Structure 1
Amino acid sequence: MNYIELSIHYQKPDPWYDLIADDLASISFEAFEEREGNLYAYIKKDQFDLQSIKHTATLSKLLDQVQLSHREIEQQNWNEEWESNYKPVVVNEQVLIRAPFHNKQEGFKIDIVIQPKMAFGTGHHETTQLMVGHMLELNLSGKRVLDIGTGTGVLAILAEKLGALDIIAMDTDTWAIENSSENIKVNDCRSIEVLLGSTDEVDAKFDVILANINTNILRDHGAFYFKQLFVGGTIVCSGFLKKDERTVKESYTQNGFTYINCNYFNDWCGMKLVKRGAE
């Protein structure tokens, strides 16, 4: 499957690029990157609809002020595109996320090697770093973990490196499944099962759910995720902006979760909640 790269240029990127990215994520865009003053967004070719893009909430207000262009990227060329721009990522001075062509660096608690194939989760996006930050605060030793929308598999890989013993990494994108499986092998992980499909196909309960997805899915699945957690289990979620924090929080607290805290990176949020009550 080839992808479309959408390029957006606006003279006032902050906070507009984050708002635009949030809107585009709700219409199936999978990855975003800011470089050289532009926002680049990526979507499968068969899902690209320029008119739908122009009618998203933020872009519809800025159409006469933004420059839009797009081009097709062949699957086999993505790694070359990505390698030319990729730099290692350090999170909380503890986790190094790097590519195979970067040298390993000393002084980090955890070293993760990621080779993306257009799958979300290279470590550069704020939401991935927010998720990693929350995970570093959890005790995952011996825990059962569900990673929803695994992308590159980076969060599932981190979960194993933090001691989780039984991890399911799920995605609805076959490309992400291929990519995450390769990254899991590169990182010598043995406790991760990769599944293609949605979470309603998983008949199991978990100690921890990791959900770095979009606002709409998070908002609509609070009750469903509640059923998939053991009592006292934790959900860590991101993929939404500060303006949506209250909506996401209420959708979970109204479905049996206790709000713990929320971390922020630019305009993005990462939230932690715990399932309360009895089975």
Structure 2
Amino acid sequence: MNIKYIGYSFTVTPKEPATEILIAQLGFAGFESFVENEDGVTAYIQEADWNAGMLEDIQILNSNEFNISYKEEVIEQTNWNSEWEKNFNPIQVDDLVSIRAPFHENPNLKYDIVIEPKMSFGTGHHETTHMMVQHLLDMDLTNKKTLDMGCGTGILAIFAEMKGAQPIDAIDIDNWCYENSLENVTRNNCSHISVYEGDASLLINKEYDVIIANINRNILLNDMQSYMNCLAKNGTILFSGFYQEDIPIIDAEVSKYGLNIDKIIERNNWVAIKYIFE
């Protein structure tokens, strides 16, 4: 079957945090996948799921704080794997972790993560994923019960298992990410990761030693209570998906629950913070 997609190319000024909010609202409306670029983001939805008035409920498009314009086009189904082969370059983190697609040569580093990203977030190229890998590199995760919230491709859950974490829950609200995480978990021969499609409501009656949440500032703040309710005593939480100037906002909320900053990594103004619950 020849599936067609509708693609919306959004130009966003200022880009952040508007792009993050826009992606969240579009995802709730039914858009399947997103590709960020220098000007904003391109969002995709299957033609069969599209309707002419679906952008009317996207609140941020009516905001006076941001200038957002867009154009749309019908896109014939393409071979996404072929597109990624042309555009996805392998990366290395601290000469210890390789993140690559199946068609890339294995550089034989200590950790080798094989990701077929398709259109899910989390190839390691984005600053936030890269920094989260750096945090996890420094941690002893042996037998730590771990949550990867907003798992995208599943890359951080996969790396956590490589570092000895178990059991691991990987959760994403996006169906494309859910399916892609399942594929990547199998591809990396992981046996301790359970992948779920959903949001923070899945965290009721759960407890974790380590929580990884690489999402965005607004969702982190909105779901903070859920994260704290399931973080074990002496547990660790890693937050990323926001900028250096957002640290006071995040820290003010987290400090209400008795957590303290242990380490901050910054990369191109993006930050990843490690908190300890003592």
Letter in 1 for 2:216: N
The alpha-carbon deviation at position 84 of structure 1 amounts to 2.0
Greater displacement, 123-132 / 68-77: 68-77
- List alignment gaps of at least 5 residues for structure 2: 28-32
The alpha-carbon deviation at position 145 of structure 1 amounts to 0.3
Letter in 2 for 1:185: T
Structure 1 Cα separation of the partners of residues 144 and 252 of structure 2: 27
Structure 2 Cα separation of the partners of residues 147 and 74 of structure 1: 33
Task: Tell me what 2:277 maps to.
Answer: 275
Task: Indicate the percent of aligned positions where both proteins have the same amino acid.
Answer: 38
Task: Tell me what 1:119 maps to.
Answer: 120
Alignment of 1:1-279 (within 5 A): 5-7=7-9, 17=15, 19-28=17-26, 31-34=34-37, 39-42=40-43, 44=45, 49=55, 52=59, 54-55=61-62, 59-60=66-67, 68-73=70-75, 77-106=79-108, 108-202=109-203, 203-276=205-278
Structure 1 Cα separation of the partners of residues 245 and 25 of structure 2: 18
Are 2:9 and 2:72, in contact at CA under 8 Å, matched by a contact in 1? yes
Structure 2 Cα separation of the partners of residues 132 and 150 of structure 1: 13
State the structure with bigger RCO (CA 8 A, min sep 6), 1 or 2: 1
Are 1:3 and 1:42, in contact at CA under 8 Å, matched by a contact in 2? no
- RMSD between aligned residues: 2.8
Are 1:6 and 1:70, in contact at CA under 8 Å, matched by a contact in 2? yes
**Alignment length (residue pairs):** 264
SS in structure 2 of the partner of residue 122 of structure 1: coil
Structure 2 Cα separation of the partners of residues 148 and 243 of structure 1: 23
Are 2:261 and 2:275, in contact at CA under 8 Å, matched by a contact in 1? yes
TM-score by length of 2: 0.82
- List alignment gaps of at least 5 residues for structure 1: none
The alpha-carbon deviation at position 40 of structure 1 amounts to 4.0
Are 1:19 and 1:241, in contact at CA under 8 Å, matched by a contact in 2? no
The alpha-carbon deviation at position 220 of structure 1 amounts to 2.1
Post-superposition Cα deviations, 1:136-159, rounded to whole Å, max 9, x if no partner, equal: 111101111011111110000000
Structure 1 Cα separation of the partners of residues 189 and 100 of structure 2: 15
Structure 2 Cα separation of the partners of residues 142 and 74 of structure 1: 46
Structure 2 Cα separation of the partners of residues 265 and 23 of structure 1: 21
Post-superposition Cα deviations, 1:31-78, rounded to whole Å, max 9, x if no partner, equal: 4444xx655443546697387564457642xx6xxx854445566643
Structure 1 Cα separation of the partners of residues 223 and 117 of structure 2: 27
Structure 1 Cα separation of the partners of residues 10 and 92 of structure 2: 27
Structure 1 Cα separation of the partners of residues 5 and 59 of structure 2: 17
Post-superposition Cα deviations, 1:137-183, rounded to whole Å, max 9, x if no partner, equal: 11101111011111110000000001112111111222211110110
Letter in 1 for 2:256: Q
SS in structure 1 of the partner of residue 218 of structure 2: helix
